[in-house]
């Protein structure tokens, strides 16, 4: 079950990854740190921001964006600079990609197909996802 997260945990994740998340993604995650979104072709479970405010939240957020991105980078063909924000349970990842400058992530959301190693644009802004 998703729950709110203090913005300081988003900032800590940005510092660890060296990126800035789009405003619409930050806004959604502050209200619901995790959860899922439906897109063609799948339903995606969103990775949370690591929240150390209490033992319960540590347990519920240990599969955080930093950890899941590091894991995804081990896969052949994972896009350079991509940040994994979700998964479909079958190996594919929901990702945000860098823009110029490369530390700012694009508003657009993509899915990476682990079998074909192709990146597909889902929408122009995370706010459009349900």
- Tens digit of each residue's pLDDT (9 = 90 or more) over 44-98: 999 999 999 999 999 999 999 999 999 999 999 999 999 999 999 999 999 999 9
Q: Let me know if residue 42 belongs to a domain.
A: yes
Q: What is the residue range of 46's domain?
A: 7-128
For residue 110, being part of any structural domain is answered with yes
pTM above 0.85, yes or no: yes
Listed residue (67, 69, 66, 3) closest to 34, CA to CA: 3
Asked whether residue 84 is assigned to any structural domain, the reply reads: yes
Q: For the chain, what is the domain count?
A: 1
Which residues, 6 or more positions from 8, have their beta carbon under 8 angstroms from its beta carbon? Answer: none
Dihedral sign for Cα 54, 55, 61, 66, please: positive
Average pLDDT (93-106) is 91
The answer as to whether 25 is a domain residue is yes
> What CATH number does residue 44 fall under?
3.40.1580.10
Measured over the CA atoms of residue 101, residue 44, residue 52 and residue 74, the dihedral's sign is negative
**pLDDT confidence bin for 100, thresholds 50/70/90:** confident
Cβ(110)–Cβ(121) below 8 Å: yes
In a domain, 82, yes or no: yes
pLDDT at 6 over 90: yes
Q: How far is CA 90 from the centre of its chain?
A: 16
- The verdict on residue 29 lying in a domain is yes
DSSP per residue over 3-49, as a string? ----HHHHHHHHHHHT-B--HHHHHHHHH-SS-EEEETTEEEEEPPP
2 in a domain, yes or no?
Answer: no
Q: What's the confidence (pLDDT) of residue 1? A: 65
Q: Does 1 map to a domain? A: no
Is 29 a residue whose pLDDT tops 80? yes
């Amino acid at each position: 079950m998703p729950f709110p997260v203090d913005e300081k945990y988003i900032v800590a994740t940005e510092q660890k990854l060296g990126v800035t998340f789009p405003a619409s993604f930050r806004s959604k995650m502050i209200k619901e740190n995790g959860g899922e979104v439906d897109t063609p072709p799948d339903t995606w479970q969103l990775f949370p921001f690591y929240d150390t405010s209490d033992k319960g939240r540590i347990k519920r957020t240990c599969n955080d964006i930093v950890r899941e991105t590091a894991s995804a980078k081990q896969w052949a063909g994972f896009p350079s600079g991509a940040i994994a924000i979700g998964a479909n349970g079958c190996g594919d990842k929901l990702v945000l990609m860098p823009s110029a400058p490369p530390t700012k992530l694009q508003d657009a959301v993509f899915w990476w197909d682990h079998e074909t190693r192709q990146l597909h644009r889902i929408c122009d802004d995370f706010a459009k996802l349900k």
